[in-house]
Amino acid sequence: MKSFFVSTLLVILTAVAVYAQNPMRAGQWEVSVQMQMPGMQMPTTKSLQCVTAAQLARDPATGLPSGMQNMPGACKASDYKVVGSTVSWKMACAGAQPMTGDGELVFDGDAYNGTIKMAMQQGAMSLKLSGKRLGDCTQ
């Protein structure tokens, strides 16, 4: 379940970074995620995400990591807003565990902090996010 949410989160972050004209710059990003549910707090997980200039210039679907578009429970982001250094959006995930939610990232130079709040049949879940640009992509 944890890997599903982390994979879904990476899809959403890429889609948001690509679609909106936000403060994110192309490069290698380290993304930290901490999932919380009532009565449960998961350890923080970290992953690397390469965001290219081409992804930032194209439609969000073309910037999704390969294979994620066909993943069961795929999420779609909508209602993108960029106000200054803040990016916000709404989302809906279909599949065996449908859910809806909203997210917000606040950028400070080459770093961000934010949250995603989700509602699903099993209850509420929140994700605490942080990211920092490490430099150019190494791929």
- Residue 41 sits in a domain whose CATH number is 2.40.128
What distance in Å separates the CA atoms of residue 101 and residue 118, rounded to the nearest whole number?
4
- What predicted TM-score, i.e. pTM, was given to this entire model? 0.74
**What average pLDDT score do residues 2-12 get?**
54
pLDDT score at 79: 81
Residue holding tokens 């699903």? Answer: 120
Q: Is 91:76 a contact under the CB 8 Å cutoff?
A: yes
Domain range for 39 is: 2-135
Give the count of domains, the chain. Answer: 1
Whether 31 has a pLDDT exceeding 60, the answer reads: yes
Q: How many CA atoms lie within 13 A of 53 on its CB side?
A: 1
pLDDT tens for 63-115 read: 333 333 334 457 777 787 888 888 888 888 887 788 898 888 898 999 989 99
